[in-house]
Structure formats: structure tokens, C-alpha cells
Amino acid sequence: MTSGATSRSLAGAAWLSAGALPRLLGVLDSNGEEARVVGGAVRNALLGIAIHEIDVATTAVPDEVVKRVTAAGFKPVPTGIAHGTVTVVIDKHPFEVTTLRQDVETYGRHAKVAFGRDWKADAERRDFTINALSATRDGAVYDYVGGLDDLAARRVRFIGDPAKRIAEDYLRILRFFRFHAAYGTSDHPDAEGIAACIAGREGLGQLSRERLRMELMKLVVGTHAVPTLISMTDAGLTLRVLGGISCLGSFENMAKAEAAIGAPPDPVRRLGALGVAVAEDAERLWQKLRLTNNEHERLASMAEGWRRISPVFGEPAARALLYRLKGERYTDRVLLAWARSQGSASDTDWHALATLPQHWSAPAFPLKAADFIKRGVEKGQALGAALAAAEAAWIAAGFPSDTAAIDRIANDAIQWQRA
């Protein structure tokens, strides 16, 4: 094992010393084999931010991993065993366990690897220095590639030759910017890294739409997403990813509007602010990124209606809109309209419009088909027309709930339909 020990320590950290993880490490880090926590969990722990998943690397080959964890009563799942990865489930908590590897041959996403026992070689095959840190079960931190210095400087830097790292997997172009948005500073990304991303940009065309979507959705909600996207646009990369316009101003304003109303960053909403002005944009992004149906429908809804929204229309109109769209899509449209308006993030009228769902819940339409059938309306087109007319009148009247008003609306709708 090549030494990479540092003076940093995570000893005593609750996530490392309690729960299922120490049980897993105890099984794998014994009897001639080593095991460590690697990657994002170590990075986030050192930064003092939330740890979302814990990955483990080990010198034990996959068959030995399966043998040991099975004997311990854990559940092994061979999710990527050909490349050395076994998912180990302990008390319903999954851990991805991967045998140390060294690239023998690389050709894009698909690398030919050999299992090994060299922690330094395994670290050097990873993407960025801040993702190549590892920690033993007693909390000792190992760094073979300068990750701690880069972490302290909040600098995202490729390991070794950036061009080589990118050629191994062109998704690393987007990952470079995504990690900068999340862990870098508001300053420009690493210049050598940007140059390599520009040089390798043709490789983005080789990537699946699903992988592009996954990285972009994470990028747009990063802490420093705004300056990062500016850097991407300056490098000519957002056009290749989105296939169309980049509305950086409205994207920045969307982030401010979300913060103003206390809403968490929403990737679909932010994608709409960045790349959707008209309906055709929503269709293009649906195809370009293979968005889910719900994501596509949200973008289409934003494109269809944001121009017609303004605080000057008053709260009755806002309530009618909220009733028709429900909470999420109402907020999508209003925030996009706000982001593209002349209103600042502190505009009280826009704030009141955007926060309407927080203090008013749209009631359910109180009339049903049976109410009209009782009044002599026959099933079919006439019944549908009466229901639609009554609902429109009920909305226009301000959503009354008293029986007399509702009866009057129903009777008027029938008279209108028969006229």
C-alpha cells in the first residue's frame, strides 16, 4: 500500500462509528483484507455537510466480499460484479462495495479493469481530486492526489491529465461543472479543466440522454449554479447540452425568487427558467434530455402560461389560477413570470402572488353530475356543458360554499345550457 496518510481525522464521527457501517467495515477490514469509506462521504464529512450515500472500497475481490457479508447475515446484491461492485444491504440500508481497481484499457464509458490492492492506483483512476479521498474505520484520512488542498480551496480539479480523464468518460465534462456548482466557489472553475472540457466537447454527443439529464438536473440546483452556468455558456457548452437558448438572467432571477419565498431549489423549475420561453422549447428539452412525462408536462405548462401572469390582475384571478393548476404548477408559472418580469426579488406584490398557496387552499368544486341529473339534465353533452358552466360561475363568484349560492349557480347553469 502506497502511503497517503494525512493528519486529518474523522475519528469519533457518528456516521462512521455507529449503525450499520462499522459492522460492514468490521467484516471487510480484517483477515488480510482492507476496507475504507471512499469518495463523497469523506468529502462531505470533511466539509461538514450532509452525507447522502456511503461507498466502500476494499482489497477483497467480489467473490470474497459476497462470501464474507453472507456469512455475517447481510444481503449481497451483484449490481456490478463484473466491474467489482456488490451492493450490500444491512438493515435495509444499501452500501456500494467496490474492489480496488486499476484501468487496463479505457474506451469511453466502458473501461477494462483489473482488480488490485493498491489504494493509490485506485485513487488515481477517479475523476476529481476531492472525490478520491478515503477514510479507514478508525477515521484516518488518506489523500494520494492533493484532494485535501483542493477541498480547502473549494477547487474542483481533474486527477492527472484532464483530457485523459474526460476521454475515459465524456460525462465528466458535465460532472466537472456540476461539482463546481456544488462544491466550488463562485469564482471561475479551474482553467485547465475548462480548456479540456472545451477540447472534448464533441464527446458529449456520445452520451445517452438519460445521463445528460441526470447531471444537468443536479447541476442546476447547485449552490453556485448561476456563475457555473455562465462559465459553461462562455465555453459554448450549454448550447450543446440544451440544443437551444440559455436564459441566464431568468435562471438567476428564478434562484432569487425561490429563496425569497423559502422554496427549495427545484430542478425542473430551474430548467424551465434556463431553457424554456415557448412551447417548442419544452418539446425540444423533453426529447434532448429524455425527461420524464411529469417533467415534460411541467415545462409545457410553464411555457404555455407564464406571460399571462401578473400581480396587477389581483388575488381573485390568482385564486382562479391556483384552482385550475394546483400548487406545483401554479408556483412554476408564477415564479417563471416573476423571474422574467421587472420585479425585484423583494417585490411585495410578486411575493404575495407566489406565496398564495401557503395561505389559501383551493376548495373542491361542490357540484357533481348527480346534482344536475336530479334537476332533470340528461347524461351526455348537456350534462358536461352544465357542469362546466357551473364551475366557471362558481370560480367567478369567488368559490362560495353556502348552499343557497351553490343552488343558484347550478340552476343558472341549467338555464344557460337550455337557452
Q: What is the pLDDT of residues 158-189, one digit of tens each?
A: 999 999 999 999 999 999 999 999 999 878 89
373 and 318 fall within a common domain: no
Of the pLDDT bands very low, low, confident and very high (cuts 50, 70, 90), residue 108 is low
116 and 201 fall within a common domain: no
Please tell me the predicted confidence (pLDDT) of residue 408: 95
Tell me how far apart the alpha carbons of residues 228 and 193 are, in angstroms, rounded to a whole number: 13
pLDDT tens-place string over residues 19-42: 999 999 999 999 999 999 999 999
Query: Residues for the chain: how many in total?
Result: 419
143 and 61 fall within a common domain: yes
How many CA atoms are closer than 13 Å to the CA of 134, on its beta-carbon side?
Answer: 27
User: Which of 338, 362, 386 represents a domain boundary (last residue)?
Assistant: 362
Of the pLDDT bands very low, low, confident and very high (cuts 50, 70, 90), residue 217 is very high
pLDDT higher than threshold 70 for residue 79: yes
Distances (CA, A) of 226 to 187, 194, 254, 274: 11, 16, 10, 10
- Match 458535465 to its residue by C-alpha cell: 174
395 and 352 fall within a common domain: no
CB 248 within 8 A of CB 230: yes
Please tell me the predicted confidence (pLDDT) of residue 419: 62
User: Which of 242, 269, 284 represents a domain boundary (last residue)?
Assistant: 242
148 and 168 fall within a common domain: no
Of the pLDDT bands very low, low, confident and very high (cuts 50, 70, 90), residue 206 is very high
Please tell me the predicted confidence (pLDDT) of residue 145: 97
pLDDT higher than threshold 70 for residue 1: no
Range 373-397 average pLDDT: 94
Q: How many domains does the chain have?
A: 4
CB 316 within 8 A of CB 356: no
Please tell me the predicted confidence (pLDDT) of residue 114: 84
Please say whether the dihedral angle defined by the alpha carbons of residues 118, 119, 121 and 125, taken in this order, is positive or negative.
positive
Residue 174's CATH number: 1.10.3090.10
Of the pLDDT bands very low, low, confident and very high (cuts 50, 70, 90), residue 112 is low
pLDDT higher than threshold 80 for residue 113: no
- Residue 195: give the domain boundaries: 160-242
User: Which of 152, 178, 199 represents a domain boundary (last residue)?
Assistant: 152
Please tell me the predicted confidence (pLDDT) of residue 107: 52
CB 16 within 8 A of CB 137: yes
Distances (CA, A) of 124 to 2, 133, 161, 271, 364: 12, 10, 11, 34, 59
pLDDT higher than threshold 80 for residue 286: yes
87 and 147 fall within a common domain: yes
109 and 81 fall within a common domain: yes
Range 66-75 average pLDDT: 97
29 and 122 fall within a common domain: yes
pLDDT higher than threshold 60 for residue 110: no
117 and 175 fall within a common domain: no
pLDDT tens-place string over residues 317-367: 999 999 999 999 999 999 999 999 999 999 999 999 999 999 999 999 999
Mean pLDDT estimate for the chain: 94
22 and 104 fall within a common domain: yes
122 and 205 fall within a common domain: no
- The share of the chain scoring above pLDDT 70, in percent, equals 97
Of the pLDDT bands very low, low, confident and very high (cuts 50, 70, 90), residue 5 is confident
267 and 183 fall within a common domain: no
Residue 28's CATH number: 3.30.460.10
